[in-house]
Amino acid sequence: MRKPIIAGNWKMNGTIASGSILIEAFNSVLQDMELSCDVVVCPPFTAIERAVALTRDTAIEVGAQTMDYHDAGAF
């Protein structure tokens, strides 16, 4: 049986700072848990580098999304 995935896709919303706060909160909650699923965050392109740094050696994986020409929003 495949392991379930729980993923959060922020689309093109948020900043590097707000994403960092969210990932740090996830790390704090998940660090001592035995997970029965994979946890993935998909921040905007501008925050991927920081997300990768914050999730190194944690249970959280980083995903990416396609790009869009809009300035912000869920597209």
Q: Say yes or no to pLDDT of 7 above 90.
A: yes
Residue 51 counted as domain residue: yes
Q: Is residue 72 part of a domain?
A: no
End-to-end CA gap in the chain: 32
pLDDT of residue 40: 96
pLDDT at 70: 79
Both tokens of 45, joined, read: 């392109």
- Does residue 26 belong to any structural domain of this protein? yes
Q: Is residue 73 part of a domain?
A: no
Per the structure, the complete domain to which residue 32 belongs is given by: 5-62
pTM: 0.82
Segment 27-73, tens digit of pLDDT: 999 988 899 999 999 998 889 999 999 999 999 999 987 777 777 77
Quick one: tokens of 7? Answer: 């993923």
Q: Which residues, 6 or more positions from 46, have their beta carbon under 8 angstroms from its beta carbon?
A: 15, 16
